[in-house]
């Protein structure tokens, strides 16, 4: 309105003057045009504003930003148009802040800091250095190998939050499909179109039995040695697992199988061995369960010498955190393959 009033006065003599350009001596905020306000600011706007506010002079601010004065002036004008209020008053000594300008100055350093932090965290996330890894695991898997892998990954990427989920095999597969976990660990995993399965290691089998049993003095045991002994099987779950492998091995070697109990996990199975309910065929990692009265002996069998531990994940997962974790898993697998036993 003021600019229009002045324009009208200066054209009374029939000599129109250019809009805003000639009013170099008039206060800077008179040149704000009538445009829609509320347009979003970007980081460049804030950096330009901060330079002018701190320098108090458009020329010094332009030099600081490695710009010429006219582009910087236009940027400041555009910012004022976005906000819908003048930010500076031009004086003979330079630029002074309006009330709106002082308000923006109070917030600008915080905004720039937050933006820089967001940029840095985004960069770290893109490199898999921060984020979250949801891991599905199962009973005997947490007794030895999986904790070592997780510890190594945590040492390499301490800012990644690891969340563990104790799940059955079918629950892990469902959680992977629904993207509720990132990776899983299990044995005898059935093939699925969108799920990748990588073998971590082949784990030898052992027999858990009472330390007082006559067979406990032997250095190793065969399936035929267990004929007639009450056996505790696990896991008792729908998908094929160790229980089915044990049953098939007894059948293949022609040894009668006497099942005393069927349980869900290795801890329960070994606890029942300690309670005198029978013996249990399990993996070597279970030997870390040092229950009183229980001893372990290697199993020698043509049909059940070892069982694989696998890592499973979605084939289409683009996560850099998952990629980094798989790198740790593969390195661990290579090390174990190079040092069998």
Domain boundaries, given as residue ranges, for the chain: 32-123, 131-200+310-338, 203-306
Reported as a single tens digit per residue, the pLDDT across 6-15 is 344 344 444 4
Q: CATH topology of 131-200+310-338 equal to that of 203-306?
A: yes
β strands within the chain, DSSP E: 88-91, 94-97, 131-137, 160-166, 183-186, 195-210, 221-222, 230-233, 258-262, 280-283, 294-300, 306-314
Split at pLDDT 50, 70, 90, the class of 37 is low
- pLDDT interval class at 43 (50, 70, 90): confident
- Output the pLDDT for position 19: 42
What pTM was computed for the model?
A: 0.70
Region of 191 (left: φ > 0; alpha: ψ -120 to 50; beta: rest) is beta
Residue 24's pLDDT band, with cuts at 50, 70 and 90, is very low
Lowest mean pLDDT among 6-15, 132-141, 194-203: 6-15
**Rounded to whole angstroms, how far apart are CA atoms 333 and 341?**
13
What is the pLDDT, as a whole number, of residue 111? Answer: 84
* Spatial separation of the C-alpha atoms in residues 58 and 117, rounded to whole Å: 28
Q: Is the dihedral of CA 182, 186, 190, 196 positive or negative?
A: positive
**Nearest-10 crossing angle of helices 43-55, 99-126:** 130
Enter the CATH code of domain 32-123.
1.10.10.10
Tell me what the mean pLDDT of segment 207-232 comes to.
96
Please name the helix (run of DSSP H) or strand (run of DSSP E) that holds residue 147, with its range, or none.
Answer: helix 145-156
Q: Is the pLDDT of residue 34 over 70?
A: no
Distance CA 156, CA 153 (A): 5
Give the pLDDT confidence score for residue 27 in this predicted structure: 38
Contacts of 37 (CB under 8 A, 6+ apart): 81, 82, 83, 84
Does domain 203-306 fall under CATH 3.40.190.10? My reply is yes
As a whole number of angstroms, the longest Cα–Cα distance in the chain is 123
CATH of domain 131-200+310-338: 3.40.190.10
Encoded tokens for 99: 């009330």
Contact 314, 195 (CB under 8 A): yes
Q: Give me the pLDDT at residue 28, please.
A: 38
Quick check: 282 pLDDT over 50?
yes
Question: Cβ of 77: how many Cβ atoms within 10 Å?
Answer: 19
d(CA 274, CA 177): 39
Region class of 331: left (phi > 0), else alpha (psi between -120 and 50), else beta: alpha
Lowest mean pLDDT among 10-19, 133-142, 256-265: 10-19
């Amino acid at each position: 309105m003021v600019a229009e009033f002045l324009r009208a006065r200066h054209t009374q003599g029939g000599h129109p003057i250019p809009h805003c350009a000639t009013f170099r001596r008039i206060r800077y905020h008179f040149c704000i045009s009538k445009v829609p306000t509320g347009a979003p600011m970007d980081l460049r706007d804030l950096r330009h504003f901060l330079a002018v506010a701190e320098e108090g002079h458009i020329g010094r601010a332009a030099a600081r930003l490695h710009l010429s004065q006219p582009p910087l002036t236009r940027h400041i004008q555009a910012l004022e148009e976005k906000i819908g209020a003048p930010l500076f008053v031009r004086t003979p000594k330079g630029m002074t802040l309006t009330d709106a300008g002082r308000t923006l100055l109070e917030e600008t350093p915080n905004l720039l800091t937050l933006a820089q932090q967001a940029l840095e965290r985004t960069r770290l996330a893109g490199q898999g250095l921060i984020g979250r890894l949801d891991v599905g695991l199962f009973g005997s898997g947490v007794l030895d190998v999986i904790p070592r892998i997780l510890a190594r990954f945590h040492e390499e990427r301490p800012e990644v939050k690891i969340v563990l989920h104790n799940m059955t095999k079918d629950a892990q597969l469902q959680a992977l499909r629904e993207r509720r976990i990132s990776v899983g660990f299990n044995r005898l995993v059935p093939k699925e179109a969108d799920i990748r399965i990588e073998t971590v290691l082949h784990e030898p089998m052992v027999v858990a039995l009472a330390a007082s049993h006559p067979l406990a003095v032997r250095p190793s045991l065969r399936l035929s040695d267990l004929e007639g002994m009450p056996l505790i099987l696990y896991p008792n779950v729908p998908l094929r697992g160790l229980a089915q492998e044990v049953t098939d091995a007894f059948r293949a070697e022609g040894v009668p199988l006497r099942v005393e109990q069927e349980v869900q996990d290795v801890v329960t199975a070994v606890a029942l061995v300690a309670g005198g309910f029978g013996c249990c065929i399990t993996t070597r990692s279970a030997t870390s369960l040092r229950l009183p009265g229980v001893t372990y002996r290697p199993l020698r069998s043509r049909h059940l010498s070892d069982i694989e531990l696998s890592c499973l994940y979605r084939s289409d997962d683009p996560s850099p955190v998952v990629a980094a974790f798989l790198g740790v898993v593969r390195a661990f697998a290579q090390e174990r393959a190079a040092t069998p036993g």
